[in-house]
Amino acid sequence: MRTLLLASALLAGLFVSLAAVPVPDTAPGPYRAFCKTMWLFATPCAEISTKLVQQIQAWSPQYTLLLGLPTYIKANHTSLSSPEGENIILILNPTVLSAGCRVTAMSFSLAFTSLLDGGLNYCNLNNLVSASGLTSAPGFMEMTNEWACLSYGLATCKA
């Protein structure tokens, strides 16, 4: 019972910290679809950042890297299904206990659309982390839900 309570408290704390991350000035408006998720890795942020930036560059011109710093990555995604595109923002923070990395990942539509995007914004993030091979990195864990990531339950992602 004690373990269950401790695990519940840790998960609640992680979701509170996910909600507490400051949203950049390019945050979605009230009628824009969005997704916000958190990835945990037992790998240093420098390695995670390098792999994510390399994957974004490999997918050019569908993905455009706007800023690729060790702790902050910003990119745009466009496709035939979303010509206006979506902004992708990744904020990387080292974790003290595991010498790993916590990534707050956000994708949001630039156009005024239905809030239900069929999981497009989630798939932007999921495809990026999957194609970069990071889902098999040591300690990988993803945390999100329908409140933080609209249409998360409807997503059928294809890289």
Residue 137 inside a domain? The answer is: yes
Number of domains in the chain: 1
- What is the Cα–Cα distance from 124 to 88, expressed in whole angstroms? 8
Give the Cα separation of 47 and 43 in Å (integer). Answer: 7
* Residue 1 covered by a domain: no
What digits encode the pLDDT tens for the residues 78-137?
977 777 889 999 999 999 877 899 999 999 988 776 666 788 899 999 999 999 999 999
- This prediction has a pTM of 0.80
Q: How far is it, in rounded angstroms, from Cα 16 to Cα 94?
A: 17
**DSSP assignment letter at 117:** -
Residue 52 CA to residue 129 CA, distance in Å, equals 7
Q: Is residue 28 part of a domain?
A: no
- pLDDT, residue 153, reads 83
140: containing domain = 44-154
Q: What is the pLDDT of residues 33-54, one digit of tens each?
A: 889 999 999 999 999 999 999 9
Q: Considering the domain boundaries, does residue 30 fall inside one? A: no
**Is residue 18 a part of any domain in this protein?**
no
Question: CATH no. for residue 48?
Answer: 3.30.310.80
In whole angstroms, give the CA distance from residue 111 to residue 33. 9
Residue 4 phi/psi, 5° resolution?
Answer: -60, -45
Q: Measure the N-to-C terminal CA separation of the chain; round to a whole number of Å.
A: 40
